[in-house]
Amino acid sequence: MPVNRNALLRYKTIDHCLCNRYRQWTLEDLIEACSDALYEYEGIRKGISRRTIQLDIQTMRSDRLGYNAPIIVVDNKYYTYEDPDYSILHSPLTERDMTELVEAVGVLKQMTVFPAMAGVSDLVSRMEEQVSMAAGNRQPLILMERNDQLKGLEYVPILYDALKNRCTQEMTYQSFKAQRPTTFVFFPYVLKEFNNRWFVLGQKAKSRFTNIFALDRIQSLRSLPDEPYFKPNDFNAEKYFSEMVGVSRNENEKPQTVKFWASAMDSPYFITKPIHHTQEVIMRNDNGETLFSINVIINRELMRELLGFGPGVKVISPKALAAYIQKRHQDAAEGILKSSS
């Protein structure tokens, strides 16, 4: 049960009293001090019962809030701290507190790539150092995927500002297939992270279609504040990406129903981690094989996902996708046979 504000005020007041070694504190004295504090800070006139303060002392003595306060009774009448230097305000962090701090700092560190976090990056670094020292350099319990060597991360803050300010960009870009880079005017719409890579979705000037660009293939970006910015009023980034696995699609392409069998060994993977939010179980055999369906745009990310399971997945429909997957498996098998002969 969470501790309410009045209870915290009582704990702090009792602590303040017991830290005062120049006075002896009876239970009635503590009740009076807490009543005065509640009236002063909260305007509460209702008196506090003996039972309430007795329960407060019991809670402070316990590890429920991590206090473990060494409260003793002297001469069966006066309350005090056995350790004269103790205070709940100086109470060390519990093991659970420290674990949560370590992981929270780790999450914050992942987000410092964004401009909104840039102002606290130094603070996060100092927090990380202090928490690490306090935690005895313990190993993290949560490992988040991160690649500090990934190219293109320097463009995240630039594009973030461009998106926020609706600012047109001049981009120089070279895809993996292109022989040379090209430069064009670009309207960015949204940043997207997928499979530990960053992408920007937008539209080239004088084009009717949206395009996705990998940040690690960008060679340069330049803001064009005097160039009018364009974005369709009906564009919805969440809907755009919800219709597919990954980030790539051809314009005007519509989702299709994809059906595939998964082996008994691979079926639990799909059940516990669906590859798309539309995934459904159509049939499950006694041997554990399962027939799934998803309604998605067929793109290269989906193909790679299905190919990654090897013989553990058999695509049933659409026929074109099934034929493609089958041919890739055959090509792979033939390549292995040739390399081993």
pLDDT digits (tens, 9 = 90+) for 186-238: 999 988 888 878 899 998 988 888 889 999 899 999 999 999 999 888 888 88
Highest mean pLDDT among 122-126, 127-131, 254-258: 254-258
- pLDDT tens readout for residues 280-306: 999 999 888 999 999 999 998 999 999
Q: How confident is the model at residue 277 (pLDDT cuts 50, 70, 90)?
A: very high
For residues 117 and 122, give the distance between their C-alpha atoms in angstroms, rounded to a whole number: 10
DSSP 8-state symbol, 275? S
- For residue 204, count other CB atoms closer than 10 A to its CB: 17
Task: Please report where in the chains the tokens 């009448």 appear, as a residue.
Answer: 77
In the predicted model, what is the mean pLDDT of the chain? 82
Query: How would you classify the pairing of strands 169-173 and 313-317?
Result: unpaired
Kindly state the average pLDDT of the residues 128-134: 54
Q: What is the pLDDT of residue 93?
A: 57
Instruction: Kindly write down the DSSP assignment for every residue of 101-139, as one continuous string.
Output: HHHHHHHHHHHTTSHHHHTTHHHHHHHHHHHHHHTTSPP
Please tell me the least confidently modeled range out of 123-132, 146-155, 182-191, 300-309.
Answer: 123-132
Residue 70 burial class via C-beta count within 10 angstroms: exposed 0-12, middle 13-18, buried 19 and up: middle
Q: pTM of the entire structure?
A: 0.57
What's the pLDDT at 15? Answer: 92
Comparison of pLDDT for 316 and 339, the residue scoring more: 316
Task: Write the CB contacts of 209 (distance below 8 Å, at least 6 apart in sequence).
Answer: 203, 251
pLDDT of residue 116: 52
Q: For residue 74, what pLDDT band results from cuts at 50, 70 and 90?
A: very high
Mean per-residue pLDDT for 65-92? 86
Contact call for residues 273 and 266 (beta carbons, < 8 A): no
Nearest to 139 by CA among 99, 174, 176: 99
Report the distance separating Cα 128 and Cα 106, nearest Å. 8
Q: pLDDT digits over 10-69, tens only? A: 999 999 999 998 899 999 999 999 998 888 887 888 888 999 999 999 999 988 877 889
pLDDT for 341 beyond 50: no
Closest listed residue to residue 245, CA positions, set 297, 210, 289? 297
Pairwise CA distance, residues 61 & 129, whole Å: 31
In terms of phi and psi (left: phi > 0; alpha: psi -120 to 50; beta: otherwise), the region of 7 is alpha
In this prediction, residue 55 carries a pLDDT of 94
Q: How far apart are CA 158 and CA 220, in angstroms?
A: 11
pLDDT of the residue at 145: 61
Q: What confidence category does residue 73 fall into, taking pLDDT thresholds of 50, 70 and 90?
A: very high
Distance of CA 108 to the CA centre of its chain: 9
Inter-residue contact 218 to 173 (CB < 8 Å): yes
Among 111-125, 268-282, 296-310, name the one with the lowest average pLDDT: 111-125
Strands, E, within the chain: which ranges? 71-74, 78-81, 169-173, 182-194, 197-204, 210-214, 218-223, 256-262, 280-284, 290-296, 313-317
pLDDT of amino acid 1: 39
Out of 130-134, 147-151, 249-253, which region has the weakest mean confidence (pLDDT)? 130-134
